[in-house]
């Protein structure tokens, strides 16, 4: 069972209570807007109290009170309709219509509960990259030197089309190239589109993720760790700056596990790195490289460091 189960259930309970509260308020507001409605509602309440007194004694009196309540309710609603009051608002509007925010359908977890558990896990991961600053709209291809502008415009077009058609079984991408060429910018633009589509996305630096996984692994000795599970489960995973993490056999086998598991499940992964293909091969070995080469779209970024270009522009202004 997910360790976020309890927390997710609490959130669902809050959704449920909020929906009920809202519907009760709509009813109370409607009733108090008209003196006659107020009076009919008072009579309904009175009869309901009587009904409780007679509960368990199903005699004539009980059914008479029941009928009385039904008649009063009919009267109340028909007057409301005449007054143009939206009586639909008296039924709770649940966030999830499939399970009425209970989290279960026939004893099975509803999609909304699974989604909440995933969101909580991702939140705990602490996605630390500057996603707010990166989108397709502020990606400027004129910043690339003329000799590679067309190539970089193609990469930009590819990433934008990829993002807009992104789904849970999309292909994976390797972005390789020197520092400051827009790899993180474009991967985060894709993440933003993914989130807007309602897909779950885990994004962060390889270094950050791997040190978390390592800490969790060695402190508890579990084979699987929370962070690893979250990275494997996310609809989209962005592993930024692969190659900057501390190298070890554990790290390499974890990277292999992430790449391989997600490929088998056909879930999209985006890896960005300053390493070239030869360097990746010598650092991570044939097993990892052949999976990337055989299955990922490889985008080679080119140009001059845009971080430096932007700094120069700032100083010249």
Residues that bind ligand ATP (CB under 6 A): 133-134, 138-140, 143, 179-185, 241, 272, 274, 306-307
Q: Which element (helix H / strand E) includes 21?
A: helix 5-32
Identify what 185 binds: Mg ion, ligand ATP, Zn ion, none; CB under 5 to 8 Å per kind. ligand ATP
Identify which of residues 227 and 272 has a Cβ nearer to ligand ATP in the complex: 272
Site map (CB under 5 A) of Zn ion, residues 100-129, x = contact = ----------x-x-----------------
Identify which of residues 184 and 189 has a Cβ nearer to Mg ion in the complex: 184
Query: Shortest approach of ligand ATP to residue 268 CB, angstroms?
Result: 18
Pairing relation of β-strands 269-273 and 296-300? unpaired
Q: Considering only CA atoms, which of 1, 15, 5, 198 is closest in space to residue 102?
A: 15
Identify what 110 binds: Zn ion, ligand ATP, Mg ion, none; CB under 5 to 8 Å per kind. Zn ion
Q: Which token pair is 234?
A: 């996310």
Instruction: Pick one of 47, 170, 184, 273: the residue that binds Mg ion (CB under 5 A).
Output: 184
Read off φ and ψ for residue 255, nearest 5 degrees.
Answer: -60, -40
Task: For residue 57, count CB atoms less than 10 angstroms from its CB and return exposed for 0-12, middle for 13-18, buried for 19 or more.
Answer: exposed
Beta bridge partners of 270: 173, 238
Query: Shortest approach of Mg ion to residue 181 CB, angstroms?
Result: 9
Identify which of residues 183 and 212 has a Cβ nearer to ligand ATP in the complex: 183
Instruction: Pick one of 33, 78, 91, 98: the residue that binds Zn ion (CB under 5 A).
Output: 98
DSSP-assigned letter for residue 89: G
The string of DSSP letters for 256-301 reads HHHHHHHHHTT--EEEEES--HHHHHHHH-HHHHHHHHHHEEEEE-
State the Cα–Cα distance between residues 22 and 92, nearest whole angstrom.
7
Identify what 112 binds: ligand ATP, Zn ion, Mg ion, none; CB under 5 to 8 Å per kind. Zn ion
Segments in 126-271 forming alpha helices (H): 146-164, 183-196, 206-220, 226-233, 249-264
Identify what 99 binds: Mg ion, Zn ion, ligand ATP, none; CB under 5 to 8 Å per kind. Zn ion
Query: Shortest approach of Zn ion to residue 215 CB, angstroms?
Result: 34
Query: Shortest approach of ligand ATP to residue 218 CB, angstroms?
Result: 28
């Amino acid at each position: 069972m997910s360790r976020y189960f309890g927390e997710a259930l609490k959130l669902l309970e809050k959704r449920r209570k909020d929906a009920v509260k809202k519907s009760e308020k709509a009813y109370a507001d409607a009733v108090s807007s008209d003196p006659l409605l107020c009076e009919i509602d008072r009579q309904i309440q009175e009869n309901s109290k009587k009904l409780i007194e007679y509960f368990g004694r199903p005699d004539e009196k009980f059914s008479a009170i029941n009928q009385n309540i039904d008649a009063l309710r009919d009267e109340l609603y028909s007057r409301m309709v005449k007054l143009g009051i939206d009586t639909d608002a008296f039924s709770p509007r649940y966030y999830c219509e499939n399970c009425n925010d209970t989290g279960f359908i026939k004893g099975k977890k509803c999609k909304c509960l699974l989604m909440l558990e995933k969101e909580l896990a991702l939140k705990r991961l602490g996605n630390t990259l500057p996603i707010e600053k990166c989108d397709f709209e502020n990606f400027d291809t004129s910043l690339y030197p003329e000799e590679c502008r067309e190539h970089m415009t193609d990469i930009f077009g590819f990433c934008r089309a990829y993002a807009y058609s992104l789904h849970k079984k999309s292909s994976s991408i390797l972005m390789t190239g020197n520092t400051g060429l827009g790899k993180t910018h474009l991967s985060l633009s894709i993440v933003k589109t993914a989130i807007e589509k309602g897909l779950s996305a885990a994004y962060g630096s390889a270094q950050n993720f791997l040190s978390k996984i390592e800490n969790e692994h060695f402190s508890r000795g579990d084979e699987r760790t929370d962070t690893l599970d979250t990275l494997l489960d996310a609809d989209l995973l962005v592993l930024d700056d692969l190659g900057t993490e501390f190298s070890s056999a554990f790290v390499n086998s974890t990277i292999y596990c992430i790449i391989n598991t997600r490929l088998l499940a056909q879930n999209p992964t985006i890896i960005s790195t300053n390493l070239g293909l030869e360097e990746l091969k010598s650092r991570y070995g044939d097993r990892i490289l052949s999976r990337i080469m055989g299955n990922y779209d490889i985008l080679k970024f080119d140009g001059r460091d845009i971080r430096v270009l932007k700094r120069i522009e700032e100083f010249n202004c």
